[in-house]
Amino acid sequence: MRFMKVSGLPLVAIMLSLSACGGDDGGAVQVAPMGASSETVAIAAPAPSVAPSSTVVSDDAAATVTSAATAATAVYPMLRGINIAGGEFGSNAPGRMNTDYIYPTKAEIDYYANLGFKIIRVPFKWERIQPTLNGALSVADQQAIRTVITNATARGMTVVLDMHNYGQRATGSNYQTMVNVGTTQVPGSALADAWIKLAYEYRYNGSVWLGLMNEPHTMNAATWWPIVKKLVVDIRAAGLWNKLLVPGTAWTGAHSWVSSGNAASYNGFTDPANNFALEVHQYLDADSSGTSATCVAGSGTRVAEVINWSKSKGGVKLFMGEMGATSGTQCGIEYRDMLNRMEASGVFRGWTAWGGGSWWPSSYIFRTLPLAWPNTATPTPHMKYLLEYVNK
């Protein structure tokens, strides 16, 4: 989600400035105060480990494998789902939960589960889950995310934890300076630290996927890919075997996967667990940004570039992390064309459409909750398209 897609927030969020279960049995836990408004927990870094040979790793509710190292070779159904936005809302960092930002409620999760969706992508800000670089996690945010996972997995859904930071982190005493990951101020090791502390308790839970970074775009592919390659190795060395969603740079656009340099810079990528998919995003307006309701003729074919590239590499798995369309004949043509191409590709593992979240205004072009939800159930124009595919 790019910055401009978020205009017209509801009254409860009018002051916001948007940028677009299981216990831990390995690692000492200490409660550590982080200031007047943030309670945090410090988790000792787990010792490196190898993939368990007998632990069952469930990639979703419908499939299991006997070893994390063989997860990618199993046969899985296509997962279709929704982004439930809110955790990334607001420019305040860390901010106040339920005032500046919000996490998905059980009612929202149940709504999508009842319609047949099998996966949700849950955006959050790095600065909120870990207010201090390399420091303790926020107890409140960690518990909120844990509750989301509990509610979703109870309905048989997979949860993608999406670090919605665009390849950067806010730094300084007032969190006012955005700094690229991979720099002296925000080294790649700090990103690994955050993910290991957050995800360690879910390390054998195949229903929890890790979306390593939303839409990096302030560095070129030659700079980004060494960072994310090392991140994957560090996460695996810490004993986390969840599916990883690995983004490229240039907003990780499907249409520009080759031209942006992502395809070339992917060469040499290795996941020791072989349990990953490359996350791409695609919108249908003139610049693929998702900031306009106008769908350009032929835009449904934009996914062809990454599909063809994937097949040329032996079928590297892909995941569509964001997409969206609104009403209108052309949007219907293009959105269905893109969805049909993904469904038939044999390389897409699934998709999560953009536009879930109860704080979007009724005028938001990609909204997926009914306009008067929860009082009515009439699907929005975007949801009508998705319902054609969700239970295929």
- Residues labelled as active-site residues: 215, 322
Report strand pairing: 158-163 vs 244-247.
unpaired
Torsion, Cα of 84, 343, 285, 277 (10° steps) = 60
Q: Pull the structure tokens for residue 266.
A: 């992917």
**ω before 226 within 30° of 0 (cis)?**
no
Nearest C-alpha neighbor of 263 from the set 276, 250, 272, 245: 250
For the chain, the residue count is 392
How many whole angstroms separate alpha carbon 126 and alpha carbon 104?
Answer: 17
Residue with tokens 């986390």: 240
3-state secondary structure of 120: strand
Interacting residues of 330 by C-beta distance below 8 A, sequence separation 6+: 294, 295, 296, 297
